[in-house]
Amino acid sequence: MSEVGRNPYIGPRPFERVDLPLFFGRDREIRELLSLVVAHRVVLLYASSGAGKTSLLNAGLLPLLEKEEGFQTLPPARVSGGETPPSGANPFAYNVIANWTLDLGTTNVAPQISLAQFLRGRERPVDPDGLAAPRLAVLDQFEEIFTRHQQHWELREPFFQQVAEALDDDPLLRVVLAIREDYLAQLDRYAPLLPEGLRTRLRLERLSGEAALTAVTQPVATTCRRYAPGVAERLVGDLLTMRVDTGAGGVVDVAGEYAEPVQLQVACRSLWEALPPDVVEITADHLATFGDVDEVLGAFYTEAVAAAAKAGRVREGDLRVALERTFITAGGTRGTVYAAADGADGIPSASIDELERRHLVLAEFRAGARWLELTHDRLIEPIRISNRTFSAAWQTVPASTAAFIAGFIRFSRKQYVGETGRSVIGYSHEVTHAEVQSGVLVIGGESVPLSGGVTKEQALKMLQQDLVPVQTAIERAVKVELTANQLGALTSFVYNVGFGPLKGSLRTKLNAGKYDQVPAELRRWVRVAGSGTHSGLVGRRAAEVALWNTK
């Protein structure tokens, strides 16, 4: 926490009830939604992913309904959950009630209970005249009725019937369904089951320039800091920037109509955290030094792509190249890609889901198919810069080390099945499942078609990449200084025999500073199980020892 108070920007998460004092830029939408809820039984709130539906409900609508209209508001619920619904229960109704039960601290309820029965059993407040208070139920992220529990598709209609029953049972009940706009077409078939046929709707746009400026400047009002004239406007202008392909004129940056709420919060929170504690007025120099939007969004991308690589069980470098190739056109604008059940253009579906959850990519349905694109043009250049930086970092293994090791390995321009039974190419690069699916090898940050094979130069670069985790493991295990040749010799040795020696006597002796005993440790590893001493390994160990002893 800085000397000027806590950070007034929440970062890449939805606003919650406690964040109400920090929620700005949505006054018109809050008032409009409130009016619709008061006047209509069912209201449909829809928007693109990341536009801020959940934030509008949590920090906008619900507190205002309670304060001004005397509503009893149930905690926003979802039709999906972590638990597997009991056999025979409607999974959508069960999860909604489970959400309410958990958030309200209610005791366990019977799995077969309906929405109307649960609400009927809930105590409700009365106004000063003794009249029952109106009640609001919010079903958030309602697109999950189509994306979760798909094996129970036939139970969707009974769920809508339960919602209608609850509304019939309680004339003062209001329901808000918050859904991503790309699922509206799928929702239409169920509209006749609900009062007014879901005709009462509100589309939530992303933040306009004016609203974005309010969202930047107003949260600091309760702190000791302020923006110097023109600085907040400059920050918002940067967030609004989008790239347009003008055809013959090339690609130009222009001021867009909307800013992404998530990116705004990420940029502002990062700037606030980076400022020195004694800063009171945030100047243009501070913005340039601590709030560069490219750097902030680059860090946002770096965190998202690392998580997506882990989720999809693919190498981060491969995923980075695939993302840039897929989502950014040759002209430097946003590309659109079709998403199949198993992913998109070689990117696993689990990685896509994680990127979507982190608001890096946006999914929407068109003509019955799911299509993906980056959430905003403003991400294009930060992604490119981050990928170049990452690629350069992967070139830390000297080319001389790779060339030394390649001297012991058979080169193959095309794929073949190696001794381990796995497909290899180049200098024993094991072809991954993702590379097979995409048909692309990522070499030095460039995409190389797998079917075309590789040159020796490309194979050496690929070997450099494959050696990075080996050299990293050595640097973590060895606590004493190594010369470049000593590190090269150990890299060759570990790449050949595995990481085992780094946990045994070799590591112990080396970390004790007994450099002269390392050659004897290397020479021990010359035997092949079932075959005795292997002449090829004897020769390799001799070459590694010679390199180790080279000054």
Ordered per-residue pLDDT tens for the chain, 551 residues: 334 568 899 887 889 899 999 999 999 999 999 999 999 999 999 998 778 899 999 999 999 999 999 999 999 999 987 567 788 889 999 989 988 887 666 656 677 889 999 999 888 888 778 888 999 999 998 998 998 888 889 999 999 999 999 999 999 999 999 998 988 999 999 999 999 999 999 999 989 999 999 999 999 998 999 999 999 999 999 888 876 666 655 667 788 888 889 889 988 988 898 888 888 999 999 988 887 778 888 888 888 898 898 888 887 888 888 899 888 877 677 777 887 777 777 788 899 989 988 888 877 665 556 788 887 777 888 888 888 877 765 556 889 999 999 999 999 999 998 777 788 999 999 888 767 767 788 887 677 888 899 999 999 999 998 888 788 778 778 888 889 999 999 999 999 998 888 777 888 899 889 999 999 999 999 988 777 889 999 999 999 999 999 98
Q: Which long-range CB contacts under 8 A does 269-278 form with residues at least 24 apart?
A: 269/7, 269/9, 269/10, 269/11, 270/296, 270/299, 271/235, 271/296, 272/2, 272/7, 272/8, 272/9, 272/225, 273/7, 275/2, 275/225, 277/2, 277/3, 277/4, 278/3
The DSSP secondary-structure symbol of 71 reads -
CA distance 461 to 342: 30
Q: Which long-range CB contacts under 8 A does 499-502 form with residues at least 24 apart?
A: 499/473, 501/525, 502/473, 502/474, 502/477, 502/478
The answer to whether 260 and 206 are in contact (CB under 8 A) is yes
Give the bridge partners for 2, in sequence order: 5
Could you list the beta-strand ranges (E) of 85-172.
Answer: 135-139
Cα 391 from chain centre = 20
CA distance 302 to 382: 10
Nearest to 118 by CA among 75, 69, 87, 153: 75
Cα distance from N-terminal residue to C-terminal residue, the chain: 51
For the chain, domain boundaries: 40-205, 296-393, 478-551
The answer to whether 445 and 329 are in contact (CB under 8 A) is no
Query: Residue for token digits 């070499």?
Result: 443
Cα angle, residue 406 at apex, residues 403 and 410 outer, rounded to 5°: 155
* DSSP codes, 299-356: HHHHHHHHHHHHHHT--HHHHHHHHHHHHB-TTSSB--EEEBTTEETTEEHHHHHHHH
CA distance 134 to 131: 9
Helix/strand/coil percentages in the chain, nearest 5: 55, 15, 30
Residue 281: per-residue pLDDT: 94
Nearest to 282 by CA among 233, 212, 317: 233
Q: What are the CA-CA distances from residue 308 to residues 29, 374, 437 (Å)?
A: 33, 14, 17
The answer to whether 351 and 312 are in contact (CB under 8 A) is yes
CA distance 451 to 444: 18
CA distance 2 to 173: 45
CA distance 79 to 96: 5
Which CATH number is associated with domain 478-551? Answer: 1.10.530.40
pTM of this structure: 0.63
CA distance 81 to 94: 9
The answer to whether 488 and 544 are in contact (CB under 8 A) is no
CATH of 296-393, one of 1.10.10, 3.40.50, 1.10.3210, 1.10.287: 1.10.10
CATH of 40-205, one of 3.90.550.10, 3.30.910.20, 3.30.1360.120, 3.40.50.300: 3.40.50.300
Query: Residue for token digits 């400047």?
Result: 217
The answer to whether 344 and 372 are in contact (CB under 8 A) is yes
